[in-house]
Structure 1
Amino acid sequence: MRQLTILKSVESVGIGLHKGEPIRIVLEPMEADSGIVFYRSDLGMSVKALPEYVINTQMATVVGNDKGAISTIEHLLSAVWAYGIDNIRIVVDGPEVPVMDGSSGSFCMMLDEAQIRPLEAYKKVLIVRKPVEVQEGNKFARVLPSKTPTFRFTIHFDHVAIGHQEYHFEFGKKAFLDEIARARTFGFMKDVQMLRARGLALGGSLDNAVVMDEKKILNPEGLRYSDEFVRHKILDAIGDLALLGAPMIGDYESFAGSHHLNHLLTKAILKDPSNYEIKTLVPEISPAYEKVFA
């Protein structure tokens, strides 16, 4: 099975969720073994999508270095992971990836426009070999060995629109597009003033998030899925685990997880080489994994 990139460059413009500024984004092809690379054209800085470059996980996953940072990368990375793309350059001209409609849907459309191109090099995957778990109080995120990528998420909010939600997602590109990609980020009106005082959520609106007051959902169109909230948590987790550097073959499970817990989990996995194996999908073994990335 070959590594994948995109066939041609595509671009779009959207609002940054946290800074509220228009951001131009360009997706560009890259050669084999390049990985996922972010580039800020306004600063001339590049940073790879790897755990060691994560510098903040407050409300979003942020990568950066001493030259600058790029925020809100998880929704785009979720789409890149779902499409099986191993090598791509993501160019933005500001401090974050645009939020678009708050889901991965717009990025999936960009990737459809860009088309997928196979490269000569063989694909590499990260196979979970041992259980790994991180906890904070009663919240946790963990991975277990599995023959296919699966995601199990549970959330509980004391709000009539959310309550207790659970979702089990068996990964596949079509399943991602049908079940996960359109699930939007969400938040509460009571938190907006606090977040904006801290310079966050300045671009948030009913156009790019599900917003609730104390009693109801404020979006006139309502929800896209009855359990859209927990599905979005899975979307975020897929994007955060894309930072492992290779597609993960394992079973992810979380209760009340967050970008922070997902980041701790990726670091915990990679800390001990006995936790995982990087396998190259040469022709002799690739048939066993082709269904996963179809």
Structure 2
Amino acid sequence: MDGFIATGTERRRTLKAAIGCVGVGLHSGRRASLTLRPAPVDHGIVFRRTDLGIDIPARFDLVFDTRLCTAIALPDQPHARLGTIEHIMAALSACGIDDLLIEVDGPEVPILDGSAAPFLFLIDCAGIQTTFMPRRSIEVLRTVRVQDGEGEKAAWAALHPSATPGFEAHLEIDFPSSAIGRQNLSLRVTEASFRGVLADSRTFTLAEDVARLRAAGLALGGSLSNAVVVDGPLVLNPGGLRHKDECVRHKMLDVVGDLALLGAPVMARFEGSRSGHALNNRLARALMADPFAWRWREASLAEPALSQRSEAVAA
């Protein structure tokens, strides 16, 4: 397991070879070069701003900004922030990658097509190396919940103890645009279900918000090639949606990426309504701040792989 997804292995993993790509930052609009490099055992996932020579570990407590993406920065070097890390973190978690150096030559990971699928492609091309070191997971022992607002329109997110190994998620979204509306998704998240259900779902926005976002210095690199744009009942992308519920699928993909910043698999059941990057990060912080809400679970390499048991339950 890694991030929080059962992967069929309980040993730490990295890539076999380095691999990279070039794209544009969704919010900065700047050209962005990305390189994934194998890392030693117990290195963890670390982002390196190669233009500044600064390393930033992929950790929930280093999240610096959650406006329309997840951005991290060292507390004493906020100028060296790195944004839009959630899609690549989701892909790495799905594939069980524990140790990796991610080099980026600017303030933002390239958005590529707005989903996690291109990052899965890079990982598959590089290949995965399983190491000798066992990994451990985070077992949720009691419910942790965070909320924003009151009443039926409140946004909230929660982690509950799970009776079975692995990670289950239920998410509801509700947008005024009739092209999105209210959508629900429940999923037992494994590498296979991530690849088949979540990975190719793209980030999205409302057409009415585009001018406001750009005036705020956001979405400067956004286009119909890397984001779904809806206007009332209309989907403005020439190819339409990839899935009729693509928006809730992408929001669950974001949950995967944001909670992957906990740095270990999470055995739990996630529930959320209207949750976004800010609440996802608050949930991670609330969990780790309560020593009675979780415990480390050491891997037992003599046991069957947790993902195999999880898939059997799902079947």
State the partner residue of 2:50. 41
Which whole-Å deviations, capped at 9, do the CAs of 1:218-253 have from their partners, x for residues lacking one?
Answer: 001011011000000000000000011101111111
Match status 1:21 vs 2:33: no
State the partner residue of 2:7. none
Which consecutive segments of 4 or more residues in structure 1 shift more than 2 A? 284-294
Moved more, 66-75 or 235-244: 66-75
State the partner residue of 1:173. 191
State the partner residue of 1:266. 284
User: What is the CA–CA distance in structure 2 between the aligned matches of 1:109 and 1:288, rounded to whole Å?
Assistant: 25
User: What is the CA–CA distance in structure 2 between the aligned matches of 1:75 and 1:287, rounded to whole Å?
Assistant: 26
What amino acid is aligned across from residue 258 of structure 2 in structure 1? D
User: What is the CA–CA distance in structure 1 between the aligned matches of 2:14 and 2:292, rounded to whole Å?
Assistant: 29
Match status 1:32 vs 2:41: yes
User: What is the CA–CA distance in structure 2 between the aligned matches of 1:27 and 1:145, rounded to whole Å?
Assistant: 34
State the partner residue of 2:109. 97
User: What is the CA–CA distance in structure 1 between the aligned matches of 2:311 and 2:81, rounded to whole Å?
Assistant: 31
Give % identity.
Answer: 40
What amino acid is aligned across from residue 160 of structure 2 in structure 1? L
Match status 1:253 vs 2:271: yes
Match status 1:243 vs 2:252: no
User: What is the CA–CA distance in structure 2 between the aligned matches of 1:291 and 1:229, rounded to whole Å?
Assistant: 30
State the partner residue of 1:212. 230
Which whole-Å deviations, capped at 9, do the CAs of 1:85-141 have from their partners, x for residues lacking one?
Answer: 111111100001000000000000000011110111101111111110000111100
**DSSP-derived class of the 2:132 partner:** strand
Q: What's the TM-score, normalizing by structure 2? A: 0.90
Q: What's the TM-score, normalizing by structure 1? A: 0.97
- In structure 2, relative to structure 1, the CA distance for the partners of 1:86 and 1:291 (3 Å cut) is farther
Q: Gaps spanning 5+ residues in structure 1: where?
A: none
- In structure 2, relative to structure 1, the CA distance for the partners of 1:293 and 1:125 (3 Å cut) is farther
Structure 1 residues 138-149: aligned runs within 5 Å: 138-146=154-162, 147=164, 148-149=166-167
Deviation at 1:171, TM superposition (A): 1.1
Deviation at 1:289, TM superposition (A): 5.0
The alignment's C-alpha RMSD in Å is: 1.4
- In structure 2, relative to structure 1, the CA distance for the partners of 1:35 and 1:291 (3 Å cut) is farther
Give the conservation status (yes or no) of the 8 Å contact 2:177–2:231: no
Give the conservation status (yes or no) of the 8 Å contact 2:190–2:307: no
Match status 1:158 vs 2:167: no
Deviation at 1:287, TM superposition (A): 3.6
Q: Give 2:138's match in structure 1, choosing from 120, 123, 126.
A: 126
Give the conservation status (yes or no) of the 8 Å contact 2:177–2:206: no
Which whole-Å deviations, capped at 9, do the CAs of 1:57-85 have from their partners, x for residues lacking one?
Answer: 11110001233100000000000000011
Give the conservation status (yes or no) of the 8 Å contact 2:179–2:232: no
**DSSP-derived class of the 2:73 partner:** strand
What amino acid is aligned across from residue 56 of structure 1 in structure 2? D
